[in-house]
Each structure stands twice: as C-alpha cells, then as structure tokens.
Amino acid sequence: MIIETILESLSDGEVKAVCVGLHWTAVTVEVNGERRCGLASTLSSGHHHGSGPQIPRAGYLEEFSARQLAGFSLHESPAMVSVGMAAINALLPGNFQFTSEANAEQLILNNGLGKRVALVGHFPFVPQLREKLEHLDVLELDPQPGDLPASMAPDVLPRADVAAITAMTLFNGTLESMLELCSPGAFVILLGPSAPLTPLLFDFGIDVISGALVTTEEPVLKTIMQGGNFRQVHRAGIRLVNLSK
C-alpha cells in the first residue's frame, strides 16, 4: 500500500538518464522543465550464466515515461526495484521545508538518549550508537556480532520508544509490517538515502524521514558509474536532509 500510494501521487516526466552502479542507482527525469535526480540502493539477485537479465530493457530504459519507470518499484527483479525507487525519488518534488540536515546517527541520538531504541538495519554508525545509548537493539537479516535476527522484530519493536527503520524495508515489502509492530507512542524514523521524501509517509505512522537529495547530478552519476560507495557519492554532491511530520 505504501508504494502504491506514493506512485498515485506522482506527476509524470521524461526520463533523461538511468545509471545502475555497483552500490547505487540513479535516475534523472525532467518534470515541467525542471531536471531532478533520484537515488536508491542497488539490489541484485546475483549473476548466473544462462539466467535471464536482471534489467530486461537495459540500454532502452529512457524510452519509458518517468512514471512507468517508477512503477518498476513493484517489479519482481531486485535490480528493477532499485531503478523504480530511484525514479520515485527523482519524481518527488524537493521543495519541502526540511527541518534539519543532521545525519541519521545524530537524529537517533537526539531522540533516543535515555530511551529504548530499536534500529532495523545494521548501519555503519551502530558502534557509535552503542557507546552512547543506554539501550539499543539492532535487528538485521544478516546479523553481525551484537545484532538480533530480524525475526525478533515482533518482540523488540513493540517495546521501543524510538524505532529507526531502514528504507530498504520498502524494497522488500516489510515496512508496513514493521510499522504495525511499533507502539502507538513510539517515535518512528525512516532512514537511508533511498527513503522517499514525501509527507504521504506520515499517514502510515512515520514521524521523520531522514533521506538524501542529489544536488550536483553530473559528479554523482559519474561516481555511481565508477562503483562509488555512499561516502564517495555523498562527497560528489548529496545533501542529507530530514523531513518531519
């Protein structure tokens, strides 16, 4: 329902560029003369000789309308989901009143000190959070030392005062079930560069969206095409922003 609701809200546009890199995917569109670039994590189902392509129309994606490309966020191919999510983020207007440019780590600290915090997804800043927060549960599909398996979400999320959920749950269709597990009084953050910056998410129980805007398209696309990780892409021209309810 969340992805469908966002898709219904989007204006259409012309696709100008699609870039699927090792770690990140970017889509550039033009809407009413305005050029916009959206970002999403690159997902892959892995390469197997003799299997079909992960991106069936590779080389011709600019022939789709921007909304058609965004519709691939519901595709069965993980790589096409990445293209669709990047298109969604490109089509969303970037003229909202953002509340701050604190990164996700600082946002969690600002709201989680002295409280019970649950983080869905193992982010690079987990070690720093563990040093500063009194109680932090990290739920992860592929748990690292100190993490809990994602299957424990029904036990962990209802008890959390602050729930920070990776935007990757939108990709695998688990975000709605995660939100349903959160306590009605919990402060809920959706975080990650793939997170759609739209107030529509507030209707589903999210209080803050901590995401990213592409500010300089050409260097970002070049870095993505050359396999850059997020730190490199960030330096190339990404602005971290927070959209609050």
Residue 193, domain member (yes or no): yes
**% residues pLDDT > 70 (the chain):** 97
Distance in angstroms (rounded) separating the CA atoms of residues 148 and 185: 23
114 and 43 belong to one structural domain: no
* CATH number of the domain to which 119 belongs: 3.40.50.11590
Number of domains the chain is built from: 2
Q: Return the residue matching tokens 């870095």.
A: 223
pLDDT tens-digit profile of 61-74? 999 999 999 999 99
Q: Would 137 be classed as within a structural domain?
A: yes
What one-character DSSP code corresponds to residue 194?
A: T
Domain assignment present for residue 171? The answer is: yes
Domain identity same for 58 and 150: no
For residues 91 and 118, membership in a common domain is answered with no
- Give dist(CA 139, CA 147) in Å, integer: 6
Q: Does 245 map to a domain? A: no
Residue 117 has which token pair?
Answer: 């915090």
Residues 69 and 90 reside in one and the same domain: yes
Q: What is the average per-residue pLDDT within 81-92?
A: 97
User: Looking at residue 234, which CATH number applies to its domain?
Assistant: 3.30.390.100
> What's the DSSP call for residue 89?
H
Is residue 119 in some structural domain? yes
Tell me: do 175 and 87 sit in the same domain: no
Q: Do 190 and 152 share a structural domain? A: yes
Q: Share the mean pLDDT of the chain.
A: 93
Distance between CA 22 and CA 44 in Å, rounded? 9
Same domain, yes or no: 170 and 221: no
158 and 203 in a single domain? The answer is: yes
Q: For residue 56, what pLDDT is reported? A: 86
Q: Per residue in 191-228, pLDDT tens?
A: 999 999 999 999 999 999 999 999 999 999 999 999 99
Task: Report the SS3 class of residue 122.
Answer: coil
Q: Mean pLDDT, to the nearest integer, of 27-47?
A: 90
Q: Tell me, yes or no, whether 200 and 123 share the same domain.
A: yes
- Pair 37, 70 in one domain: yes
| pLDDT for residue 150 | 95
pTM of the model: 0.93
Q: Which domain holds residue 14?
A: 2-96+212-240
* 203 and 115 both lie in a single domain: yes
**28 plus 73 within the same structural domain:** yes
